[in-house]
Each structure stands twice: as C-alpha cells, then as structure tokens.
A and B are shown apart, each in its own frame.
Chain A
Amino acid sequence: MSALDFNTPITPELVKEHGLNEEEYKLVLEIMGREPNINELGIFSVMWSEHCSYKSSKKWLKTLPTKADWVIQGPGENAGVIDIGDGQAAVFKMESHNHPSFIEPYQGAATGVGGIMRDVFTMGARPIANLNALRFGEADHPKTRHLLSGVVEGIGGYGNCMGVPTIGGETNFHASYNGNILVNAMTVGLADADNIFYSAAAGIGNPVVYVGSKTGRDGIHGATMASAEFDDDSEEKRPTVQVGDPFTEKLLLEACLELMATDMIVAIQDMGAAGLTSSSFEMASKGGVGVELWLDKVPMREEGMTPYELMLSESQERMLMVLKPGCEEAAKAIFDKWELDFAVIGVLTDTKRMVLKWHGDIAGDLPIDPLAEASPEYDRPWEPTPKQDRIDPDSISAKVSHIDALKTLIASPDLASRRWIWEQYDHLVMGNTIVRPGGDAGVVRVDGTNKGIAATTDCTPRYVMADPVEGGKQAVAEAYRNLVATGAKPLAITDNMNFGNPERPRIMGQFVGACQGIGEACIALEFPVVSGNVSLYNETNGVGIMPTPAIGGVGVISDLGHHATIGIKRDDSALIMIGAATGELGQSLYLKTIEGREEGAPPPVDLNAEKRAGTLVRELIELGLVRTCHDIADGGLLVTVAEMCLAGNIGAELHLPEVGSEIAWLFGEDQGRYVIATRDPDKVLNAASSSNVAAVIIGQAGGDSVTIDGGDKVTLSELRELNEGWMPSFMAEAVQ
C-alpha cells in the first residue's frame, strides 16, 4: 500500500480491497458528490468497517439497558463511568483483540491490553486493575499451546511493565476456537467523579495536538482485517498487527494524568483502531465541529510515509487532544519531561469537514457527520436458535463413583487451576490487591481508603450456543454472583460480544438472542451496560466460534473489613448451600466430560431468585456473618466445595439428600447458587428464610479430605495435584 499516492485511480478492485460493497460505495459517491481519492477511500473503508461502525450490531446494542442512578457515562465514550461514592468514579471497559492475537499472539495480546488501558486513562482515570477473558482451541490442537503461551506472555509483558495488577480472568478451551482464539482485555480505572475527560472537540480555532509515540507503518488496515473472516492465508496478515511498547505507554499514562491535573485539555481521545482517522472523526463528530489536519506535522517513525498511511496507521501509544488556546507551551513541557513527542497537527474549524493538508496541498476533504454518524446500519436477517430438550436427571446413571468424577473434572482443561497463567501476571503491584486471582472476583482497595472495587469476567459459551437468550442471561448473572461472593454490591457491566459471521442468519440469531438475555438480566439485577465492544467474523473457512458474549462486571465493597474469599477458614464451620437445587445437567461439564455429551437445554436463570439470593449473601457478608463464599458454577456443587477446600486447605464432608438424583445434586449447574461456610448456621438459615431464599446445610468443614457421606473420599493433596498439575504439564509439552 505504501506506493499509493493521491493520484491512484479508484478501480472497483481497489474499492473491494477496502472492504466496501457496491451499495456502500454508492453511498460514498453520494456523500462525496464525486469520486473519492485514495486517502478518502481509505478513511471510508476503516470508518465503515464492522469494527469501527458496528453496522451489523448497533440496532441490537441500542436495546441494552444503560442507565442507573450511579451511571455517570454509558456506552459511546472511550469507557463507561460509574459513581462509587466519596467523589470517586470507576471507569472501565473490555475490548477484544482476537484477530491480531491469532496471527501474532504476543503482540496481539499485548497491544490489546495497551489499547484498553489507553481507553481508560483517556477518560482521566488511573488504571488500577486489569482482567481478561481468553478462549483457545481444544487442548490437543497443535496451535493451542503456542497461542496460549504467547497470549499470556503478551498480556503479562504489557500489564506488568505498566504497573497495573492483573487481578482476574477466565480461560476456556473448545474446538470451536481452533481457528479463532478470543483475547478480551478489561481495565478498571479510578478517577475523581468531577474530573472525567471526554472526547467531544470544542472551540473553533483551538489547537489539535498529537502526543505519544511516533507514527509508523504498523497496523494499517487492522480494523478492516478484524471485520472479515479468516482463511488459510490469514497468517499473511501479520504486518497488520501492531507492535506494543509498554514503556512508552507508561510514560504516556503519567504525562496524560499530569496534564489532566491542570486545566488545559478541552477534549482527548486515544488513537486505537483506525488510528488518527477514527480519533479525529469521533472528536469532531461529537463536538459538531470541523478539523483541518496538517499531516506533514505528524511525528513519523519512518521516512517516505504518505497521508494514506498516516491516516490509517494503528501505531500504538498515541493520543489526540484539543487544548485550550495558548496552553501549547505549558502542555509541551510536561510531554518533554516524559520524553514523548508533542506536535500541534491541526486546528478546529467551523466547516464540519475534515480537511487533510499535506505540505499545504489538500490531500482529502470529507464531510464529518455523514461518515461518522450516517454510516451504514444493517438489520441483518436472523434465525432464532432451536431450543433443546431438558436433560432428565434420572436418565443419567453413574458410570464412575462421584469422587472419581470429581477427580476427572477437576483435572480437566475446563476446571484445572489457571495458576500457571496468573502467576505470570503481576497481580500485586500498586500494593492494593486484596483478593488475588483464583477466586470468584478480584478485589483491589481504593488507595488510601477502606473501600474495595471487585471485578470479574464471565461467560459460559456452551450455554449461549445451546440457548442464546438463557446463555446471555447467565453470563450477566454469573458476573453478578461472582461480585456478590466477595461481598461487593454489583454496579455495572461492560460487554464484549464475540460472534461469528453476522451475515449468516443463524449467527445473527445468536447475537440477537444474547442481547435479549443480557438486557433482561441487566434490568432485573439493576446491573446496566456502561461500555462494550463487538467482535464479529470470528470464523475460519466458514466455521464459527461458539457465541461468546463475555461480561465484565464491577462492584464495590464499602468496608474491606467485611469481605469474603473462597477458601474455608475454620474446620468447625457448617457448609450451607444458598439457592435452590433443581438438577440441571444439560450442557454441564459432567455431561461433557464424564458422559461425552455436549447437549441439552442449559440451566435456566431465574432472575428474581438470583437477585434475592445475591442480596441475601451480600448482606450476610456485610454483617460479618460470612467470610467464606463461593458461587456454584461450572462443574456444580461438588466441584465448588472441592475448590473451597483446596483454597483453604481444610477438607469437608458432604451429606447427600435422601431423595432425587445424586448426580444432578452433586454436578448439576443450576443457577443462582452459592456455598458459604459459617459457624452460625442458624442465623444464616433464618436470614435466608425471611428473605425467601432457599438454604440448606449440605455438610461440614474439617479434615484433610473431601468426603461424601462418610464413605467415598479423596485427600486434598491428591485433589491439589490433579487440579494444579494439568496446566503446567500440558504447557511443559509445548514445542517452543
């Protein structure tokens, strides 16, 4: 592409290469009133890419609930903002970097982390926690180890250097991700509620300023690449992957926060996907102004760069700002101190047009609103996913003992410990990590206070695949539950919608269903969506991923003196199950791992019961009655109890109910449930009864084994070896 200059003839092939279809190109001609030049075509191409324009998804995203009293900023800015009290705000978002991470796992994942952190500090927030949601192909796929190892190193390489703790995440393996892994990165930041920065440009004549790294030729057309399916030649797209420099981003973070403490910034936007194009258009469009950009003033890393390349480069660690007039010198001094580039590259105008200048000549002249706002919006045809039958628990008879099933499950790729991953992330830097990875949600202290922010990422793709509506609900409900289990009040979510090709009605139906389920859960749980990201076309040679709407949840613990963790702390505690057991084995890991069947209706989510149970559990923790709590999720009750035993290094004995399927009781993945440990079971049972929440004593903590009804048992040391052993030995087989 580097040979392109403004005189390149615009042929139908070139239009197609830019990812625009015939109708879209007709609209381009209509908006321009003439044939675009190559720079303008490139700009239309990235602005209207699925990645930047949300053209297939926005009709449905608009249906998601985004409001609550504590929401300061919902979707539409660089990140969502919620009020966490005491004049402070949490700023957060999750974003995908799937396509680049498959092509170049280290840099793809690293720049995903860098990008999401920039989204957060652009808003004026210091990042205080990172999380991620990762999906890889099946464990024995030849690429899985290489991709997992590269992605984990990339996430650590960037986040560790930035000095932001990575406090949580989730990792799944499934064959549907063999050709399209998912790397979703989330950052939570902390800001003063009255000092949030936005992207709407304002003030005709104000300077447009470029700061950060120089612009190179990396990442050109990254957004367009992320808007198409993969085929066998996808590896050739490596040059479209950006290269990260976390050291420069650390300097950029400190310089931006230093500048934000002054009163010089009018608007600020990071240069992410589609780089300078997307940032300048968004700022201008939101502010209803025009921009004149002097592209020859952009700091360049390489010689001979063209306006086309400068507008489309996705070089990392760059920001665009509008400053108050006369502030240039004072602002530049801050960036000089941090040894970062600072260049005035344009000016705001009243033309509502983007005029690109190149050594005084006009290299492009486009109207802003039609590109940014009037981008195509599709109502893609969709088909609902056919419902599957519920699995009758009595139809499953035990082929192995319950304890043998536990041993198999806890050492399976789905449930084995992820310690190998999170020990490569600095999860302690900043000195405020209170609940480390490996629990239900990570918790960081708000510096200098006794307040905590809890955060989690969740989705169970196999449920969403079987029933997008219930699966969408479940993803939100599980995030809610994981926050509650630490004692946090769940406040809001960010959604990262990873799906296949939306031009297939079946895939579009998954998207529509998931949005419906997410929306219902958000309303019922008062847990609105404040930010998000959509990644479509996660397909290779026509095979799509399981629908994966990853949910990042954030909540607040008002007093860290009363919070809960999953490890059993005393051996004289009773174990109580909160929430009703209904025996749902459909799509369960027991069915998959022990029976070899991936089928059936997933567990339904009763949102009212979820809310009642969640409120009760949080109140019990706040009152100091409960310090040990774990939600029941993948694998069911027995796995949950085993994890609590391993985390606390104290055993437990479970008592089977007198009636009903033992398998369903031990391994069913019925929703809305928690296990808590308490020395005052009567108080807990009474509180549950007055809250109309099912609660029953299921066993007793103590000993050094997990035992069922005094008979079948496994020692914690054997269980630990199984649970901790899988991933290190799996990765040790990696051919580096």
Chain B
Amino acid sequence: MKSAVILFPGINRENDAIAALEQATGTKPIVVWHGETELPKTDIIMVPGGFSYGDYLRCGAMAAKSPIMRAVADRAKAGVTILGVCNGFQILTEAGLLPGALMRNASLKFICKNTHLKIENADTRFTNQYKVGEVVDYPVAHHDGNFFADSETLDRLEGEGRVILRYCDADGVVDPKTNLNGSQRNIAGIINEAGNVLGMMPHPENAIDPLHGGTDGRNLFKSLVEAAS
C-alpha cells in the first residue's frame, strides 16, 4: 500500500500525517514537494495541515495554485483516494476539488481542543471502519474552520450523503452549542461527488496513540487501507 504526502512551504503537520499513514499502511509515505509537477503512483494522497504560504491572502489560496496541484486534480479525477486535513481541506476547497469555503472561526480565535464528532456516513472509503452515528473524539487546531456553502449546496451535500462528520457532544447531539467554530450545519468534513476526496478540519492523525489520550483516529486511516486493498 503506497501513499504520498504533499508538502507546501509552511505546512507543519506533515510528520503527524506521515506517522498516521505509516501506522496504517505499514510503509512510510512518499513526501512530494509542491514544486513538482508529477506524482508517484500511490493509492492514497494526503494534503496535511499547517499554514501553507503563511495563510497569507486566504488560507490555502496560494497552495491551490502550486504546480503539484494540477497532478493532484488529475488523480482526483482518476479516482485516487485524497484526504485533506485542516489546511489540506482549505487547499482542496480553494483548488475546486471540494465545494464550500472555510472562514474564520465564529469566535475569531484559534481553537485547539478535543471535540466530539458524529460519523454521518460510514459507507465511504474514509469511514468504513466506523458505524453510522458513532461518536468519535479527535482534536481540532485551527483559526479558519468555519465551513460555509450556500444552502443549495448544503442541501445537496446532505442529500447525497456527502456530509461525513459533524461537530457534536459526547452523546452525539448536534446543535449550536456543540458547533465549535460556527460551521454551517455543524459540518466538520465532506466528500466530493465521486466519494474519493475527503476534506475535514479535525485531526485524526493526532488521535492514533494511547499516549495522545485516544486512538479514535486510527479507524479513519484503517478505512483508507481497507478501501484500497
């Protein structure tokens, strides 16, 4: 099982991503520099978190124009599994691979904490190791995680089962109180129409070791492996 991690200047969670992919696939991912124009052939591509280009201009906007992103878009079209986490999610929306946009948190502050998330669709290549309605616990660490899309798009995402994760409480209750960053309809993660691209704000890669305080993130990476093998 081969995987690749895309590295833009200013990305800073690449080692966390590498650790999670290595744990799940048994092989260290290939790190691909943003200036490359070709991707190695892999089953999984991950766009990790951080502050690509300092988040200057707009989160993910400059990275989305990097040379490597054309190759990523081609792979997305070809059906390769692509996971964008945090800044990676922002980059994928800016690149047009996912709908919507990530705005500044409603609190206007950076938020780093663990949060409960409800698995809304377990029939995807990212969530097949979870159950529908299962509540998992991952950390978030972002300043701009406030998911926005127009209501038509939101209705469509929901209607097509493309909302994968929502912010909730320990009992799975999804309401304004459990919406930590102001996201439309508590949305924390979505997939594209073909189901091979997932963007999410929370960090499953920081919940893969008992010493992290929890291992709920492991099943997300296991799902990728399961789907690809």
Binding site for B on A (CB under 8 A): 153, 156-157, 160-163, 245-248, 250-251, 338-339, 422-431, 433-434, 436, 445, 447, 560
Give CA–CA (A433, B211) in the complex, Å. Answer: 8
By a CB distance below 8 angstroms, the chain B residues around A425 are: 110, 112
CB-based contact B111/A161 at 8 Å? no
CB-based contact A161/B211 at 8 Å? no
The answer to the question of B9 belonging to the interface, with a C-beta cut-off of 8 Å to chain A, is yes
The answer to the question of B109 belonging to the interface, with a C-beta cut-off of 8 Å to chain A, is yes
CB-based contact B12/A428 at 8 Å? no
Give CA–CA (A251, B139) in the complex, Å. Answer: 26
Neighbour of B51 across the interface among A246, A433, A436, CB < 8 A: A246
By a CB distance below 8 angstroms, the chain A residues around B49 are: 429
The answer to the question of B212 belonging to the interface, with a C-beta cut-off of 8 Å to chain A, is yes
Spot the interface stretch: B53-61, B153-161, B181-189: B53-61
| Pairs A–B under 8 Å by Cβ, sample size 18 | A153-B110, A160-B110, A163-B13, A163-B51, A245-B54, A247-B9, A247-B10, A247-B56, A248-B54, A251-B9, A251-B10, A423-B111, A427-B112, A429-B206, A431-B13, A431-B15, A431-B16, A431-B19
User: Residues 75-114 of chain B: 1 if any A CB is under 8 Å from the residue's CB, otherwise 0?
Assistant: 0000000000000000000000000000000000111110
By a CB distance below 8 angstroms, the chain A residues around B53 are: 247
CB-based contact B10/A426 at 8 Å? no
Q: A250-B10, A424-B111, A431-B208 are in contact. List 15 more A-B contacts (CB 8 A).
A: A160-B51, A160-B110, A160-B141, A161-B54, A246-B51, A247-B9, A247-B54, A248-B54, A339-B9, A424-B109, A426-B112, A429-B49, A431-B13, A431-B15, A445-B211
CB-based contact A429/B51 at 8 Å? no
* Min distance, Cβ B177 to any Cβ of chain A, angstroms: 14
Give CA–CA (A375, B228) in the complex, Å. Answer: 67
CB-based contact A429/B13 at 8 Å? yes
CB-based contact A161/B16 at 8 Å? no
CB-based contact A161/B51 at 8 Å? yes
Give CA–CA (A430, B110) in the complex, Å. Answer: 17
Give CA–CA (A433, B112) in the complex, Å. Answer: 13
CB-based contact A430/B54 at 8 Å? no
Give CA–CA (A560, B213) in the complex, Å. Answer: 13
CB-based contact A250/B51 at 8 Å? yes
CB-based contact A250/B111 at 8 Å? no
The answer to the question of B203 belonging to the interface, with a C-beta cut-off of 8 Å to chain A, is yes
By a CB distance below 8 angstroms, the chain A residues around B113 are: 423
Within B138-171, which residues are at the interface with A (CB < 8 Å)?
139, 141, 143
Within B173-228, which residues are at the interface with A (CB < 8 Å)?
203, 205-206, 208-209, 211-213
Contact A429/B111 with A246-B51, A250-B51 known, Cβ cut-off 8 Å: no
By a CB distance below 8 angstroms, the chain B residues around A436 are: 213
CB-based contact A162/B12 at 8 Å? yes
Within B110-146, which residues are at the interface with A (CB < 8 Å)?
110-113, 139, 141, 143
CB-based contact B12/A250 at 8 Å? yes
By a CB distance below 8 angstroms, the chain A residues around B141 are: 160, 426, 428-429
By a CB distance below 8 angstroms, the chain A residues around B20 are: 431
Give CA–CA (A247, B139) in the complex, Å. Answer: 23
Contact A430/B15 with A160-B51, A247-B51, A445-B211 known, Cβ cut-off 8 Å: yes
By a CB distance below 8 angstroms, the chain A residues around B205 are: 431
* Min distance, Cβ A716 to any Cβ of chain B, angstroms: 16
* Min distance, Cβ A156 to any Cβ of chain B, angstroms: 5
By a CB distance below 8 angstroms, the chain A residues around B29 are: none
By a CB distance below 8 angstroms, the chain B residues around A161 are: 10, 12, 51, 54-55
By a CB distance below 8 angstroms, the chain A residues around B209 are: 431
CB-based contact A429/B16 at 8 Å? yes
Q: Which 4 A-B pairs have the closest CB atoms?
A: A163-B12, A247-B54, A431-B16, A161-B51
* Min distance, Cβ B19 to any Cβ of chain A, angstroms: 6
Within B46-79, which residues are at the interface with A (CB < 8 Å)?
49-51, 53-56
Give CA–CA (A153, B143) in the complex, Å. Answer: 11
Give CA–CA (A472, B53) in the complex, Å. Answer: 44
Give CA–CA (A162, B11) in the complex, Å. Answer: 9
Give CA–CA (A434, B20) in the complex, Å. Answer: 16
* Min distance, Cβ B167 to any Cβ of chain A, angstroms: 15
Write the chain A residue with the least CB distance to B9: A251
Contact A428/B203 with A246-B51, A560-B211 known, Cβ cut-off 8 Å: yes
* Min distance, Cβ B158 to any Cβ of chain A, angstroms: 30
CB-based contact A428/B9 at 8 Å? no
CB-based contact B109/A246 at 8 Å? no
Give CA–CA (A339, B9) in the complex, Å. Answer: 9
Write the chain B residue with the least CB distance to A149: B109
Give CA–CA (A156, B9) in the complex, Å. Answer: 19
Write the chain B residue with the least CB distance to A247: B54
CB-based contact B55/A426 at 8 Å? no
* Min distance, Cβ A399 to any Cβ of chain B, angstroms: 38
Neighbour of B112 across the interface among A250, A251, A424, CB < 8 A: A424
Write the chain A residue with the least CB distance to B213: A436
Give CA–CA (A425, B113) in the complex, Å. Answer: 9
Write the chain A residue with the least CB distance to B50: A163
Give CA–CA (A338, B9) in the complex, Å. Answer: 7
* Min distance, Cβ A66 to any Cβ of chain B, angstroms: 33
By a CB distance below 8 angstroms, the chain B residues around A245 are: 54
Give CA–CA (A445, B208) in the complex, Å. Answer: 14
CB-based contact A431/B12 at 8 Å? no
Give CA–CA (A156, B213) in the complex, Å. Answer: 23
User: Residues 5-42 of chain B: 1 if any A CB is under 8 Å from the residue's CB, otherwise 0?
Assistant: 00001101101100110000000000000000000000
By a CB distance below 8 angstroms, the chain A residues around B112 are: 160, 422-428
* Min distance, Cβ B100 to any Cβ of chain A, angstroms: 23
Give CA–CA (A345, B111) in the complex, Å. Answer: 43
Give CA–CA (A433, B114) in the complex, Å. Answer: 13
Contact A428/B211 with A160-B51, A161-B54, A447-B15 known, Cβ cut-off 8 Å: no
Contact A431/B51 with A424-B109, A424-B110, A426-B112 known, Cβ cut-off 8 Å: no
CB-based contact A434/B54 at 8 Å? no
Write the chain A residue with the least CB distance to B17: A431
By a CB distance below 8 angstroms, the chain B residues around A156 are: 110
Neighbour of B139 across the interface among A157, A160, A428, CB < 8 A: A428
By a CB distance below 8 angstroms, the chain B residues around A157 are: 110
* Min distance, Cβ B170 to any Cβ of chain A, angstroms: 12
By a CB distance below 8 angstroms, the chain B residues around A338 are: 9
* Min distance, Cβ B146 to any Cβ of chain A, angstroms: 16
Give CA–CA (A427, B114) in the complex, Å. Answer: 11
Give CA–CA (A427, B139) in the complex, Å. Answer: 10
By a CB distance below 8 angstroms, the chain B residues around A160 are: 51, 110, 112, 141, 143
CB-based contact B111/A431 at 8 Å? no
Write the chain A residue with the least CB distance to B56: A247
Write the chain B residue with the least CB distance to A560: B211
By a CB distance below 8 angstroms, the chain A residues around B139 are: 428
Write the chain A residue with the least CB distance to B51: A161
Write the chain A residue with the least CB distance to B12: A163
Give CA–CA (A434, B214) in the complex, Å. Answer: 11
Neighbour of B212 across the interface among A247, A251, A431, CB < 8 A: A431
Write the chain B residue with the least CB distance to A166: B112
* Min distance, Cβ B140 to any Cβ of chain A, angstroms: 9
By a CB distance below 8 angstroms, the chain B residues around A431 are: 13, 15-16, 19-20, 205-206, 208-209, 212
* Min distance, Cβ B83 to any Cβ of chain A, angstroms: 16
Write the chain A residue with the least CB distance to B113: A423
Query: Which of A153, A246, A428 has the most C-beta atoms of chain B within 10 angstroms of its own C-beta?
Result: A428
Write the chain B residue with the least CB distance to A162: B12
By a CB distance below 8 angstroms, the chain B residues around A445 are: 211
* Min distance, Cβ B227 to any Cβ of chain A, angstroms: 23
CB-based contact B110/A428 at 8 Å? no
* Min distance, Cβ B168 to any Cβ of chain A, angstroms: 19
* Min distance, Cβ B169 to any Cβ of chain A, angstroms: 15
Give CA–CA (A251, B111) in the complex, Å. Answer: 24
Query: Which of A250, A422, A445, A447 has the most C-beta atoms of chain B within 10 angstroms of its own C-beta?
Result: A250
By a CB distance below 8 angstroms, the chain A residues around B203 are: 428
Give CA–CA (A482, B85) in the complex, Å. Answer: 35
CB-based contact B10/A430 at 8 Å? no
CB-based contact B110/A426 at 8 Å? yes
By a CB distance below 8 angstroms, the chain A residues around B55 are: 161, 247
